[in-house]
Amino acid sequence: MGAAFYDVCHRRRDVRGEFTGAPVAEDVLRRVLSAAHAAPSVGMSQPWDFVLVRDPGTRGRFRDHVLAEREVFASELEGERAETFSRIKVEGILESTLGVVVTYDPGRGSPAVLGRHAIADAGLYSVCLAIQNLWLAATAEDLGVGWVSFYREPFLRELLGIPEAVRPVAWLCLGPVTHLEEVPDLERHGWRGRRPLEAVLHEERYTDAATRSTASAERSMSSEVVEKLETETRR
Ligand SMILES: Cc1cc2nc3c(=O)[nH]c(=O)nc-3n(C[C@H](O)[C@H](O)[C@H](O)COP(=O)(O)O)c2cc1C
């Protein structure tokens, strides 16, 4: 049972190109959404909502907007970064079966949200935990999820009739896939790889000696060496 959980954690991928568009059974979708809704939340505020978007027209309008935002980002890149990014797909909005838009309502449970008085972002963290639960549950159901964040919040608010005070946090492409890649897309395309656990692990204090030496060693390493280290860490 424990092993199955870790397997799901490591199999989970952000999917763009592998959606089949096949239907998702209602009971499966319900289980995935129930897992999301079972997430922890600050002060039990449960500040999330899930908007299921199946309409091709709505999805098409969102995709046009995302592709325009992709161009905005691309225009800020130069040289090798521009070249590498040009080969990366950033969404599977039309190819997936449906979109699940996850929103954050800061007003839910207000004014006295227990645990949020000092850290306003704790509400947003709660929504992200619901998203992660959804992502892992979908993986356990052999479905793929792709998080799209190439959008302006006012556009998505307007498109889906989301009230002004509510923030759209994610457009999740969801549906059956041909397969899940073993290596993240960004790593396969040479955009950026996963860092070794050692590089982010600290003992007692953030600035402990071991971390400092790992971090500075990492900075002085060539990208080739970092790649080798990361490959070894994954084994
Ligand atoms: C907050 C957030 C926003 C993301 N936005 C996008 C996006 O707009 N387009 C995209 O293709 N992937 C997006 N991703 C996916 C990441 O690129 C992906 O998680 C990362 O490269 C690691 O790959 P993996 O999820 O397959 O392990 C996003 C992920 C997160 C957590």
- Residues 119-138 have pLDDT tens digits of 999 999 999 999 999 999 99
Where in the chain are the domains?
A: 2-184, 197-234
- Stretch 75-84: mean pLDDT, rounded? 97
pLDDT tier for residue 222 given thresholds of 50, 70 and 90? very low
CA of 172 to the centre of ligand 1 (A): 10
CA gap 197, 200 in Å, rounded = 6
CA of 147 to the centre of ligand 1 (A): 6
Q: Which atom of ligand 1 is nearest to the CA of 15?
A: 26
The average confidence (pLDDT) of the chain is: 91
**14 CA distance to ligand 1 middle (Å):** 6
Q: Which residues pair with 147 in a beta bridge?
A: 172
Q: How many CA atoms lie within 13 A of 54 on its CB side?
A: 7
The residue to mutate among 10, 14, 100, 132, having the most atoms of ligand 1 within 8 angstroms of its beta carbon, is 14
pLDDT tens, position by position, 87-121: 999 999 999 999 999 999 999 998 999 999 999 99
pLDDT at 225 over 60: no
- pLDDT reported for residue 186: 97
Please tell me the predicted confidence (pLDDT) of residue 233: 39
| Residues 127-175 pLDDT 10s | 999 999 999 999 999 999 999 999 999 999 999 999 999 999 999 999 9
| pTM for the whole structure | 0.90
Q: How many H-runs (helices) and E-runs (strands) does the chain carry?
A: 9, 4
Q: Which CATH number fits domain 2-184: 3.40.50.720, 1.10.3720.10, 3.40.109.10, 3.20.20.70?
A: 3.40.109.10
Instruction: Out of 93-97, 164-168, 180-184, 231-235, pick the least confident.
Output: 231-235
- Ligand 1 pocket residues where CB is under 6 Å: 13-14, 16, 90-91, 147-150, 184, 186
Burial class for 108, CB neighbours closer than 10 Å (0-12, 13-18, 19+): middle
Residue 54 has pLDDT above 60, yes or no: yes
